[in-house]
Amino acid sequence: MDSQKQRRPVQRKRVSSNDGNRARNGERQICLPLSKQQYDDIWDDSAKVRIWIDQMRKQSPELFPEQIANGYHLKGKAKPSIKMPEIQLRQIEIGKQRYYLRPSFVMPAFSGTTDELEAPMELLAHGVPLWLVVKVFGHNEMFWLRQMQRLGRNSIVGTTVRESESLPNHLAADEHHAHWRGEKGYIATTASEGCLLGVALTDQANDKSLTEAYGVFQKEATELAPSYKPVTVNTDGWFSTQNAFQALFPGIVTILCFLHGFLKVRERGRSEHELHERIWEIYHSTNIRMFDRRMKAFRKWFESHQWSKSVSEMTAKLWKRAGQYRQSFKHEGCYRTSNQVDRLMNRMTRLMYSGRGLHGNQAASESRLRGWALMVNFMPFAHRSNVEREFACPAHQLSGKCYSDNWLENLLLSASMNGKRRA
C-alpha cells in the first residue's frame, strides 16, 4: 500500500486561534511581577496583595486593564492547579468583569516555572531542533511545541510595543517561502527596530491573501493605537505586498528595496567588482540631488562599456526605478533596504530547517510561528564583548520596558492580558 495514503490528513485551512475558552481566559489573566518568595509572603493576605497591586499600578499601569482606574475588588482564589497544586490564581473584579491574577514566575497552563524553562526556550528561539531540546531537558516534542503555541496566542504588537507612542513610523515587510504540509506556504513578515511585529501564514501570495495576512499586524497595531498610521514600508518589487499595505494603511509610502536591485545585478555579474562599487556609491548618497547626479554619472559610465545581455537588462532597471528609490530621501528614518526584515527571516530559515517545515493546520502552525516571533523579540542580546549593553533585548530597546532579568518572565509580564489593555 502507498505510504502516502496512510498519513493522517491535516487540513491547511484556517481555524481561528483566537476562538475558544483558552484564548479568552488568557485575556482575563493579569500577570504580576512576583518571585516565588514574594508569592509565599503575600498571596494569602488580601491586604498585602492589594498593597502590591496598587504599587504595580503606579509603576506599570500597562499591565492592567484601563478600567482598573475606576476601582477593583479582590474575590478570593481560584481552584488549585492539578499540575502545580502549590500555586493558586487569585480573582479580581474590575468593573463587571472578573480577572485572574497570575504570578510571573509561573508559565501559562501551569506547565512549569520560568526558571525551569528559560534556557530550553532560548534554545528554541535560536532554532535548535526539538529532538535535541528533548534530549537535554526532557519532556517530549509536543510539550515544547505547545509552549511556543501558547505564547503565540498573545498579541505580538501589544506584547512587544507596550505603549502606543512606541509604535514605529517605518516598517519593513516581506514574505518567507516555507514548506507547509507538502506544499508551498508564505509567511507574511512585518518588522521594525529589530523586532518582529507581524507573522502570518497564508497559502498564496496574491493581493487578497497578503492583505489578509498583513491585516493581522494592522489589527493588533490599531488595537493598541486606533489612529496608528505608519509613514513608510520597505518592500521588494512584489506588487501584492505593496498593494496589501496600501489597502491596509491608505497613504502609506512604499519604499523599494535598493538591496534587491543590487543583488539581481550581482547574480548576473559576480566578477564585476567595479560595477558593484559604483552601484553602492549611488546608495550612499545623502540627498536627492546627490542621488540624481550619481545615478546620471553611473548610467553614462555603464553605457560606455560592453556588458552581457543579462547584466545590461538588470542594471537598466536601476535607473528605470530611480523615481521609486528617490522616495527614501523624502522620509528621514525610513528603511532603504530590506535588511531589517531579512535578518530576522534568516533566523526563520533556521527554524524551518530544524523542524523540516510546517506540519500543522494554519491556526496551529501560525500560533507556533507567532510564539517563536515573541521569543526572538524578548530573548537577550548575545554577549560578545565586555561592554555592558544599555538594553536587554530587542523589545526592551523598542519599548523601553523591562520588568525582569529573566527574559522569559519579562515576556510573560509584557503579555499580561494577552498583550491587550482593553480586554
Indicate if the pLDDT at residue 15 is higher than 80.
no
Q: What is the identity of the amino acid at 295?
A: M
Indicate if the pLDDT at residue 302 is higher than 90.
yes
Beta strand segments in 146-252, E: 170-180, 183-192, 195-202, 232-235
* 377-414 confidence digits (pLDDT tens): 999 998 876 777 889 999 999 999 999 999 999 999 99
Residue 186 bridge partners (DSSP): 177, 202
Q: Grid coordinates representing 402?
A: 523591562
- The C-alpha atoms of residue 406 and residue 183 are separated, in whole angstroms, by 39
Domain boundaries of the chain, sorted by first residue: 161-343
- The C-alpha atoms of residue 423 and residue 418 are separated, in whole angstroms, by 9
At 130, the pLDDT band (50, 70, 90 cuts) reads very high
CB–CB of 171/190 below 8 Å? yes
pLDDT given for residue 309 in this prediction: 93
- The C-alpha atoms of residue 18 and residue 31 are separated, in whole angstroms, by 19
pLDDT given for residue 420 in this prediction: 87
Q: Grid coordinates representing 416?
A: 499580561
Concatenated DSSP letters of 106-125: BPGGG--BHHHHHHHHHHHH
- The C-alpha atoms of residue 239 and residue 308 are separated, in whole angstroms, by 28
Query: Which residues have a Cβ under 8 Å from the Cβ of 160 and sit 6 or more positions away?
Result: 195, 196, 197, 374, 377, 378, 395, 398, 399, 414, 419
Helix (H, G, I), strand (E, B) or coil at 188: strand
pLDDT given for residue 388 in this prediction: 79
* Kind and range of the H or E run holding 99: strand 97-103
- The C-alpha atoms of residue 406 and residue 288 are separated, in whole angstroms, by 46
Which pairing describes strands 183-192 and 170-180: parallel, antiparallel, or unpaired? Answer: antiparallel
C-alpha torsion 380→381→382→384, nearest 10 = -140
Percent of the chain whose predicted confidence (pLDDT) is above 70: 93
Q: What is the average per-residue pLDDT within 157-164?
A: 93
Q: Grid coordinates representing 386?
A: 565586555
Question: Which among 265, 250, 279, 253 is positioned nearest to 172, based on CA atoms?
Answer: 253
Query: Which residues have a Cβ under 8 Å from the Cβ of 377 and sit 6 or more positions away?
Result: 156, 159, 160, 195, 196, 393, 394, 395, 411
Percent of the chain whose predicted confidence (pLDDT) is above 90: 82
At 192, the pLDDT band (50, 70, 90 cuts) reads very high
Q: Kindly report which listed range (7-21, 82-96, 216-230, 317-331) carries the lowest average pLDDT score.
A: 7-21
Indicate if the pLDDT at residue 25 is higher than 70.
no
pLDDT given for residue 237 in this prediction: 82
